[in-house]
Structure 1
Amino acid sequence: MRLMAPGTVMDGFVVGECLHAGGMAQIYQVGYADAARAVPFPLVMKVPRMTPGDGAENIVGFEVELLLLSVLTGPHVPRLVAAGDLEKLPYLVMEYIPGRTLQQLLDEAGAPLPAEEIARLGAAVAQAVHSLHLQDACHLDLKPANVLVRPDGRVVLLDFGLSRHAHYPDLLAEELRPAVGSPTWMAPEQVVGVRGDPRSDIFAIGVMLYELATHELPFGNPQTRGGLRQRLWMDPAPPRALRPDLPEWLQEVILHCLQNEADRRYASAAHLALDLSDPQQIAVTGLGRRLRPVGFWGHFKRWLRAAGKDYQPSPLPSRQIDAAPIVMVAVPYLDVSDVTLYSLRRAVMRVLGTTPRARLTCVTVIDPATTPGHDSQTSETTVHRRYLGMLRQWAQPLQLDSQTVSFHVIESGDVAQALLHYAQGNHVSMIVMGAATHGLQMQRLLATVPIKVAMAAPCTVILVKQALPFEQLANEEAAQPTLAGINASMV
C-alpha cells in the first residue's frame, strides 16, 4: 500500500507527514484544506491497509472502529471528526493526542520498571478501561502499543478494530474465526470465542503489568490454537521468581488479573484501579508470596475443568459493574458517638447484604489542625497508622474478607471536597455517611457537609441517622471496641 504524498487533498483534508506506516494502517497528520476553517484540535488520518492480499479482518475492523469511535465519549478515547467511504478510500480523521505508548516506554526503558511506576501506570490504564466498560464496550485488544500515556499521566486507548459494543452486532464474531485478538494478550475465554466480557480486558492489563514488571511475557507469543488453549489451565511463572525484588503486593495484583477463570479475577477494572492507587492497602495472599508456578497435578485438575467447562457469553459490561460496586463509607474520626458508629455499620451491613460482590472502602478524613495526637513531635506515618487501625477496628464486626475491604485515611481541611474527590477518582457507586459527618460538638458547624456531598456526588448517597438509643448499645456491642473509646484514650 503506497504512502500518500504530503499535500494530497482528500475530502476537504490536506495530508501532511506520515507518522506511522504499519501492517494494519497508515497514520498521517492532516488539516483542513480550507485555510480559513479553524482546526479545533490537532488531527490525524488513519487509513487502514486494504490491498488485494489483505484479509477481511481489516475491512471489518475498519467498520468496527468507526462504529465504536462514533458512540464512545470521554477523555480516554480519541474524538472522531470524519470518516471516508469504504467503497472509495476508507479513512478515519480523529483527534491527535500527544504522548507515548506503553510499548515505547518499554522499549526506551529496556528493563523492568520500578514498582511504584508500574502501579501508577496500571491504575491509569484501569481507569480508562473502566470508562469503556461503563459505556457497555470492551476493547478486547489491549496491548502496550494500543495504550497511549498523555504527558499528564492520563491514558487514552487506541485501535478499536477488534472491540465489541454490547448494543450493536458483533461483526467480527459473525464473519471471522472464533478467536479474535492479539495472541500474547488474549484472555482464555477469548480463545474459545467468548467476546464481550469486561474481565477479558482485565486479563490483558495483567499481561501488560507482568511485562512492565519483568520485561518478559507471561505466556510467550503462541501462534497455534493449541498454544493459545494452554492459557485455559496453565499459570505463568510468578513475577517474583523472575524479579526477586518485586513487592508481594504487585505480584498479588498481577496474578489476580491473570486467573484462568474470569470469575476469579477482579470483578471490575475499578476494583483493580482502587488497589493500584493505594498499594499499601492490598491484602497479600498466597498469590503474592508464590515463588513457583502451580505443579503438574494442579495444572492437570485445571485441564480437566477447562475441558468440560461451558463458556457462556457474558452479560452487559455495565450490568457486571452494577453487580460489583465500590461502596464507600465515610467514618467520622473526631467527637463521634458510639450510636453513630453503630448506625453506620448497620447501614453498611444492609447494603453489602444486597450486593455480595461489592468492594467496601472505609474512609476517614482528618484535619491536621484538629486531629488528636497530630503535632510536630508525631510523624505523619504514625498518625495515619493510628487512624487506619481505628478504621479496621470499626469494620471488624462486618467480618469481611481482606480482599473485599480496604481502609484509607485522607488528610484535608475540607471534608466534603475530600470525600467527593475520592468518590469520583475511584468510581465509587454508593456513599454511606452519617447525617452529620462529625460528632456532637461540631454538628452545627459542619452540618452542611452531608448536603454538599449529597448534592455534588457522582453516585448514590445514603445519609444515616442514629437508629439506636445509647442506653441499648452496651447490650448490642459489649464485646466490641469503639472509635469513641479509642479517641478518648488518644486525647
Structure 2
Amino acid sequence: MAKFVVQPGANIDGFTLGECVHRGGMATLWSVTRDGIAAPVLMKIPRVSEGEDPAAIVSFEMEQMILPKLKGINVPHCYAAGDFARQAYVVIERIPGQTLYHRLPDLPLPYDEARLLALKIADALCDLHRQNVIHHDIKPSSIMFRATGEAVLIDFGLSHHDHLPDLLQEEFRVPYGTAPYMAPERLLGVRDDPRSDLFSLGVLLYFFTTGVRPFGESETMAGMRRRLWRDPYPPRQLRADYPPWLQEIVLRCLEIDPVWRYPTASQLAFDLTHPDQVKLTARSERLKRDPLSTVLRRRFNGNPINERSKSAVAAQVASSPIVAVAIDVTEGSSELNEALRITAERILKTSPSARLACLNVLKLGRVTIDRTLDEEGNNKHVGRLVTLKHWAASLKLDESRLTAHVLEAVDPAGAILEFAEANHVDHIVIGARQNSLVRTLLGSTSAKVAAEAPCTVTVVRLPWRASEDGGRGEPSDDRSLPAI
C-alpha cells in the first residue's frame, strides 16, 4: 500500500495537515483538522527516513501504545493513531502555550515559585504513576501547563508501562533519555521504578532554584556513570540563603539509591504542599558533598544501587500510601480516638512506608465571628496541633512519616474531602458516633466522607451502650467526627 505524502494539505485518515509546527530529533509535529473535532489538535509523525536512529521508531511505537491508555488533565488527550503499515502517527490535543523550557533564561527562580512549579509536576507524576506509567524523560521541554494551572506531561516515547511490553528494554542495551536528568539506576538497566521520575524532578528543582544543573551538561556515558557514586554539591553551597526545607526535599530526590528517595510522587507533593512541616535531617544543613571515603566505597564495592529498592510501579505506589486520620478533640471522645489509634496502627503495620496525616477540623460558624482563643486564653489552633501530636506519639512513627493539620472550615466533611484530594490521600480513617435525631436530620461527617471521598475510607464506630434506665440499647452522644 502506498505511503502518504507528508506535506501541508495532505489528507491522512481524514486528517488534513496544516503547518509543521515543530521538527524534533525523533518526530515532527503538524497542526491538523478533521470534521467532528473542534478542539485544536496536533499530529505527531516519526522520522523514518534513511539514516534516522532506529530508536526513534521504537520510541514512537511505545508512545503509540501508551498514549491512548492515558486519561486525565495531566496528559494530552489522544484522538487517533496510525500504524507503520501505512503511516505511523498519533493525533493529540494541542496544549496552548510553551513548555517549561522557555523559563530557562529566568533562572534561578524565586524559591516559592519553583516550589509551586515542582508541586504541579509532582501532582502530574502522581496521576501518571497511578496509571502504571513511568515517564523517564522529565525535563523542562517535556512539561507544559494548562490555562487552569495543571502541569501536562508530554513526549512518552521513552516511557515504561507496567502492563505493556517495554520495547526499549527488549531491543536496546543502552539507556535512552536526557543525560542531565537521568536517574542512576537507569544506567543499570532499571526501567520499572517510579522513583526514577522523582530523581529527574529533583534535578529540575535543583536547576530552577540554583541556575546550575547538579551533574553538569555531560552527555558521555562515563560522565553519566559518575552519578552512581558521586553526589551533587548541596544547593546551600551555591546559594547561602537556600531554605533548609527546600534542600531537604531536593537532596532526598537526588539520593543515589532509590530506597532513600521519596517512595512516591504523592509523598513528595505532600512535602511541597506543606514546606513548614518538612522533617529536616542532616541533608538540610549540608554544605559539602560526601567525603571521598564514601565515594570510593560506592565506586569500588560493587553495585551501589540496593537491589531491594527495585519496584514495579503499582507495587511501589501501593506500598507507600498517605493515610489521613480525622481526630476529635472534644470532651468525651477519648474512647473513640483510642479505637482510631488502634485502627491506624494496624494499617501502618501493613505499609511500612506509609505516611500519616493527623487531621482535626476547627469548625467555624456560618454567620458568627469566631474567637481564636479559648476560655483560658490559649490559641485554639495551636492547642489542637499539640493534641494531635500527643495522640500520634504512641504510634512511635519516624518524624518524616508524620504530620499534623488543623483545618478551619464551616463544613468539616468538605474540609476533609478537600484535604484528601489536594494531598493525594489514599486512605481516610474517620470515627463516627451512634445515631441520633440531629444526625438523622443533618447527616454525619463520616457518612459524607465515606460517600464522596476519592479514596478508601474506614469508618470506626464504637459499640452501642445500654441506656441508663435498663431498656434496650440506645445510641450514645451523636457528635460525628470531627465536627466540633
In terms of mean alpha carbon deviation, does 12-21 or 404-413 score higher?
A: 12-21
Report 1:98-113 matches (<5 A).
98-107=96-105, 109=106, 111-113=107-109
| C-alpha spacing 1:377/1:130, structure 2 compared with 1 (3 Å) | closer
Give the Cα separation in 1 of the matches to 2:446 and 2:209: 42
Q: Do residues 341 (structure 1) and 337 (structure 2) align?
A: yes
Report the CA distance between 1:460 and its aligned residue: 1.8
**What is the RMSD computed on CA atoms of the aligned residues?**
2.9
Report 1:377-388 matches (<5 A).
383-388=380-385
Q: Do residues 185 (structure 1) and 187 (structure 2) align?
A: no
| C-alpha spacing 1:96/1:192, structure 2 compared with 1 (3 Å) | same
Q: Do residues 204 (structure 1) and 206 (structure 2) align?
A: no
| C-alpha spacing 1:144/1:336, structure 2 compared with 1 (3 Å) | farther
Structure 2 letter corresponding to 1:423? A
Q: Percent identity?
A: 40
Q: Do residues 448 (structure 1) and 444 (structure 2) align?
A: yes
Q: What is the TM-score with the length of structure 1 in the denominator?
A: 0.87
**8 Å contact kept, 1:233–1:306:** no
Task: Give CA-to-partner distance per residue, 1:123-170, whole Å, 9 cap, x none.
Answer: 111111111111211111111110112222201110010111111111
Give the Cα separation in 1 of the matches to 2:277 and 2:442: 29
| C-alpha spacing 1:168/1:356, structure 2 compared with 1 (3 Å) | same
Per the alignment, residue 90 of structure 2 pairs with: 92
1:47 pairs with one of 45, 48, 55:
45
1:61 pairs with one of 59, 62, 87:
59
| Equivalenced residues, count | 459
Structure 2 letter corresponding to 1:68? I
1:73 pairs with one of 66, 71, 74:
71
Give the Cα separation in 2 of the matches to 1:373 and 1:347: 36
Report the CA distance between 1:336 and its aligned residue: 4.9
Per the alignment, residue 123 of structure 1 pairs with: 119
Report the CA distance between 1:50 and its aligned residue: 2.2
Per the alignment, residue 415 of structure 2 pairs with: 418
Report the CA distance between 1:175 and its aligned residue: 1.2
Is the partner of 2:37 in helix, strand or coil? coil
| C-alpha spacing 1:70/1:441, structure 2 compared with 1 (3 Å) | closer
**8 Å contact kept, 1:343–1:468:** no
Report 1:54-453 matches (<5 A).
54-107=52-105, 109=106, 111-307=107-303, 311=307, 314-369=310-365, 375=371, 383-436=380-433, 448-453=444-449
In terms of mean alpha carbon deviation, does 164-173 or 114-123 score higher?
A: 114-123
Task: Give CA-to-partner distance per residue, 1:233-255, whole Å, 9 cap, x none.
Answer: 11101112112222111111111
Structure 2 letter corresponding to 1:92? V
Is the partner of 2:430 in helix, strand or coil? strand
Structure 2 letter corresponding to 1:214? T
| C-alpha spacing 1:373/1:388, structure 2 compared with 1 (3 Å) | farther
**Structure 2: 5+ residue stretches without partners:** 466-483
In terms of mean alpha carbon deviation, does 297-306 or 50-59 score higher?
A: 297-306
In terms of mean alpha carbon deviation, does 281-290 or 454-463 score higher?
A: 454-463
Report the CA distance between 1:316 and its aligned residue: 2.8
**8 Å contact kept, 1:327–1:429:** yes
Report 1:10-49 matches (<5 A).
10-32=12-34, 37-49=35-47
Give the Cα separation in 2 of the matches to 1:306 and 1:456: 50
Give the Cα separation in 2 of the matches to 1:436 and 1:130: 34
Give the Cα separation in 2 of the matches to 1:308 and 1:315: 16
Is the partner of 2:394 in helix, strand or coil? helix
Per the alignment, residue 483 of structure 1 pairs with: none
**8 Å contact kept, 2:76–2:92:** yes
Structure 1 letter corresponding to 2:416? L
Give the Cα separation in 2 of the matches to 1:443 and 1:332: 16
Structure 2 letter corresponding to 1:128? A
Is the partner of 1:458 in helix, strand or coil? coil
Is the partner of 1:82 in helix, strand or coil? strand
Give the Cα separation in 2 of the matches to 1:88 and 1:444: 64
**8 Å contact kept, 2:23–2:29:** yes
Give the Cα separation in 2 of the matches to 1:368 and 1:308: 53
**8 Å contact kept, 1:333–1:366:** no
Report the CA distance between 1:63 and its aligned residue: 0.4
Is the partner of 1:251 in helix, strand or coil? helix
**Structure 1: 5+ residue stretches without partners:** 470-490
Give the Cα separation in 1 of the matches to 2:186 and 2:209: 24
Q: What is the TM-score with the length of structure 2 in the denominator?
A: 0.88
| C-alpha spacing 1:411/1:23, structure 2 compared with 1 (3 Å) | same
Structure 1 letter corresponding to 2:45? V
**8 Å contact kept, 1:140–1:162:** yes
Give the Cα separation in 1 of the matches to 2:434 and 2:384: 16
| C-alpha spacing 1:410/1:225, structure 2 compared with 1 (3 Å) | same
Is the partner of 2:39 in helix, strand or coil? coil
**8 Å contact kept, 1:139–1:162:** yes
Report the CA distance between 1:88 and its aligned residue: 3.9
Is the partner of 1:220 in helix, strand or coil? coil
Report the CA distance between 1:448 and its aligned residue: 1.4
